[in-house]
Structures are given as structure tokens and as C-alpha cells.
């Protein structure tokens, strides 16, 4: 019944009556003794009692509207009553705009920060072979990261083919095909065999960075990351580097950024340390350069890798990783750029 009333309302809002003949046709069709309104009132008798109040009200409104329309045309006062039944003063129906996924917003922002200083964007496949994901990156054959626990192997009959566990695999592909100087970042999705929870997921996103040239220093790395942190988190952001280990860099470091919430004073988000870990980095191990066909006696460089979810979490205070992939519109529509 509601749909029929909706339909009639829509129908009359589109009708244009241009003369008295039209007005009479309109009257017969909608208000006549065998008209639409009459049949709606017939149907109304069968409406359950608890809905009678609402639907009855709507029917009365509709009747009133039909009578007003007719009266306005019949009174023949064009300057007072428009012959159009469309109410031009009614607000228009807007087309809802989609929003951009928070991870896409963050990725675009990071890409734009690095493209300002001359980094290109490169991509690689999500299904990788052992060479690009591990061996060329100096992972020893028995390294735990190759383990079935961490890696999704695609087909056990095809040796070492797996879903990439990090975007560092793209470094290898770039170095194999390009000559230095190389300045590139590689955003993409990566996969690890983790149980899904608020803090871990079986897929997430990383952005890898690579800079290869002659005489690149650790200071260049630090300066680049400092520029990045200030561009992303604001001029007052500071970074600190802690020694770490990755097979593909030597020396390696983990990078913390000063907590933007408490300005370094200590809060729940930074667990009262004043610092938040955002990425891993280091000078590219000469073994990696040589494996990729770049002469490590002539060239050197730095690399870094960060998790996009982690940065989005810091920017938007989203502390459950599952929200990023559940497609819940209540979550997604909150993000505008």
C-alpha cells in the first residue's frame, strides 16, 4: 500500500497540466468516482489496525494534495499558482558521493610525499617466487620467515611459489631491470599466515622504498625519513633510529616517530614511551645488490619498508585491523580527504 501511495505521489509530481481539458482528465483519473484515490481508500479497509493511523494520514495528505493541485489550476491565476505540479522550491535530491578507503588515502599521501623528492612508483606481483621474496634478499635457506607458519605457499608442487610476505620483493625486480640511480617506492598488498584478530591480519599493505646511487650515506637515509615524518605527521614530528636486524640491510634500524597525540609526553597510544614505531630500514646489503646485478663496489643505497595500516592507525586512531577489510559503510563513510 505504501508503495502505491509513493508511486502516485511520484506520478503527480511529474504531471504538467496545461489547460482545462488537462485539469478535467486529471480530476477523473485521480479524484473521480472510479479514480485512483477511491481505489486506494478501498484498499485501505484491509490495512491492519496498527498501520491504519500512519497510512490513513498519508492517504488524507494525498487527497489534500490532489485537491490543491486541481484548485490551483482551476482558479486560473497563473502568477499565483504555477500550472506545473512540480514544487520548484523543494530541495533537490543529491547524489551521494562515495568516500575513499582510509588505506588508499594514506597510501596516496605517502606516494605524494616521496614523489615530491623524485621517487617513482613501482609495483610487482602478489604471487612471488622464492628468489624475489627471499633468496635475492639474502635470506638464508633456513630462515624462519620462509616457514610454512608465516608464508602462504600457492602450490606445494611448484617449488617456493608463494603470496609475497613483504613488498621488499619489488626492490629486487626494480634492481634487476633498472640501472642506478634508482629512487622508487613500491606500495602493495602482502600476505602472512596469521590468525585474524584486532592486531594481526592475514593480509595487509606495505610501502617499500629504495634509493641506489654512488656514495649514498646513512645520513641520506636519516634525512629522507626525517623529511617523510615531518611531511606526514607535521613539522614538530621527530624521529629516532634503533639498531635492528633485517637480512637485506646492513646496518639495519627500526624507526620511531614522536607520538603526535601527546607530543612525546607519554600516553596510552604510545604506551607512555612518547614514541611510536613506524618502519624498518637500513643500507642495502652488498649481497642483495650483487644478487640483483648491481655492482656493490660501485653503488650502494638504502631501503625502508612501512605498514600502511600502522600509519593509518596512528592518523585515524583505528585500533582494530579488521575494520579495514570488512566493508562496513558506517566505518568507510567517515573518511573524506
Which segment (57-65, 84-92, 115-123, 277-285) binds ligand DAH by CB under 6 A? 277-285
Q: Residues 147 to 166: which contact ligand DAH by CB under 6 A?
A: 166
Q: Give the shortest CB-197-to-ligand DAH separation in angstroms.
A: 18
The residue (of 105 and 303) whose beta carbon lies closer to ligand DAH is 303
Q: Give the shortest CB-111-to-ligand DAH separation in angstroms.
A: 16
Does the protein bind ligand DAH through residue 132 (CB under 6 A)? Answer: no
**CA-wise closest residue to 305 among 110, 147, 168, 204:** 168
* Distant-in-sequence contacts of 287-293, Cβ < 8 A, 24+ apart: 287/138, 288/136, 288/137, 288/138, 288/171, 288/172, 288/175, 288/248, 289/175, 289/212, 291/135, 291/136, 291/138, 291/172, 292/136, 292/171, 292/172, 292/175, 292/176, 293/175, 293/176
Does the protein bind ligand DAH through residue 303 (CB under 6 A)? Answer: yes
* Helical packing angle, 49-74 and 2-13, nearest 10°: 10
Does the protein bind ligand DAH through residue 281 (CB under 6 A)? Answer: yes
Determine which residue in the list 163, 305, 313, 323 makes contact with ligand DAH, applying CB under 6 A. Answer: 305
Determine which residue in the list 122, 249, 260, 300 makes contact with ligand DAH, applying CB under 6 A. Answer: 249
Size of the site for ligand DAH (CB under 6 A): 11
Lookup result for grid cell 602450490: 155
DSSP H or E segment with residue 240 = strand 239-246
Q: Residues 188 to 247: which contact ligand DAH by CB under 6 A?
A: 208, 246
The residue (of 132 and 166) whose beta carbon lies closer to ligand DAH is 166
Q: Give the shortest CB-92-to-ligand DAH separation in angstroms.
A: 49
Which segment (74-82, 257-265, 287-295, 302-310) binds ligand DAH by CB under 6 A? 302-310
Does the protein bind ligand DAH through residue 304 (CB under 6 A)? Answer: yes
Instruction: Please give the Cα distance from 208 to 279 (Å, whole number).
Output: 10
Number of H helices, E strands in the chain: 11, 9
The residue (of 37 and 221) whose beta carbon lies closer to ligand DAH is 221
- Shortest-Cβ-distance residue relative to ligand DAH: 305
- Give Cα separations from 179 to 94, 111, 182, 282 (angstroms): 52, 22, 7, 20
Amino acid at each position: 500500500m505504501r508503495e502505491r501511495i509513493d508511486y502516485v505521489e511520484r506520478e503527480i509530481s511529474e504531471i504538467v497540466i496545461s489547460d482545462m481539458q488537462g485539469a478535467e482528465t486529471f480530476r477523473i483519473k485521480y479524484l473521480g468516482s472510479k479514480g485512483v484515490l477511491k481505489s486506494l481508500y478501498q484498499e485501505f479497509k484491509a490495512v491492519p489496525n496498527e498501520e491504519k493511523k500512519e497510512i490513513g494520514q498519508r492517504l488524507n495528505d494525498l487527497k489534500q494534495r490532489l485537491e490543491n493541485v486541481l484548485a490551483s489550476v482551476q482558479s486560473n491565476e497563473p502568477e499565483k499558482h504555477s500550472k506545473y505540479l512540480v514544487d520548484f522550491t523543494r530541495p533537490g535530491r543529491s547524489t551521494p558521493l562515495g568516500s575513499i578507503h582510509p588505506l588508499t588515502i594514506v597510501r596516496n599521501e605517502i606516494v605524494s610525499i616521496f614523489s615530491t623528492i623524485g621517487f617513482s612508483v613501482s609495483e610487482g606481483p602478489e604471487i612471488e617466487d622464492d628468489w624475489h621474496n627471499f633468496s635475492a634478499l639474502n635470506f638464508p635457506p633456513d630462515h624462519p620467515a620462509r616457514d610454512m607458519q608465516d608464508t602462504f605457499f600457492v602450490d606445494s608442487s611448484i617449488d617456493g611459489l608463494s603470496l609475497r610476505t613483504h613488498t621488499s620483493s619489488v626492490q629486487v625486480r626494480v634492481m634487476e631491470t633498472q640501472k642506478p640511480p634508482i629512487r622508487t617506492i613500491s606500495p602493495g598488498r602482502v600476505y602472512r599466515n596469521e590468525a585474524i584478530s584486532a592486531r594481526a591480519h592475514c593480509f595487509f599493505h606495505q610501502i617499500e622504498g629504495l634509493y641506489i646511487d654512488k656514495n649514498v650515506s646513512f645520513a641520506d637515509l636519516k634525512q629522507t625519513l626525517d623529511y617523510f615524518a615531518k611531511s606526514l605527521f607535521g613539522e614538530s614530528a621527530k624521529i629516532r633510529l634503533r639498531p635492528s636486524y633485517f637480512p637485506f640491510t646492513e646496518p639495519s634500524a627500526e624507526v620511531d616517530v614522536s607520538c603526535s597525540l601527546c607530543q612525546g609526553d607519554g600516553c596510552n597510544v604510545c604506551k607512555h614511551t612518547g614514541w611510536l614505531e613506524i618502519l624498518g630500514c637500513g643500507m642495502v646489503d652488498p649481497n642483495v645488490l650483487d644478487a640483483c646485478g648491481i655492482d656493490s663496489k660501485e653503488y650502494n643505497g638504502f631501503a625502508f619498508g612501512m605498514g600502511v595500516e600502522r600509519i593509518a592507525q596512528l592518523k585515524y586512531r583505528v585500533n582494530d585491523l579488521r575494520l579495514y577489510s570488512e566493508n562496513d559503510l558506517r566505518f568507510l563513510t567517515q573518511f573524506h580527504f
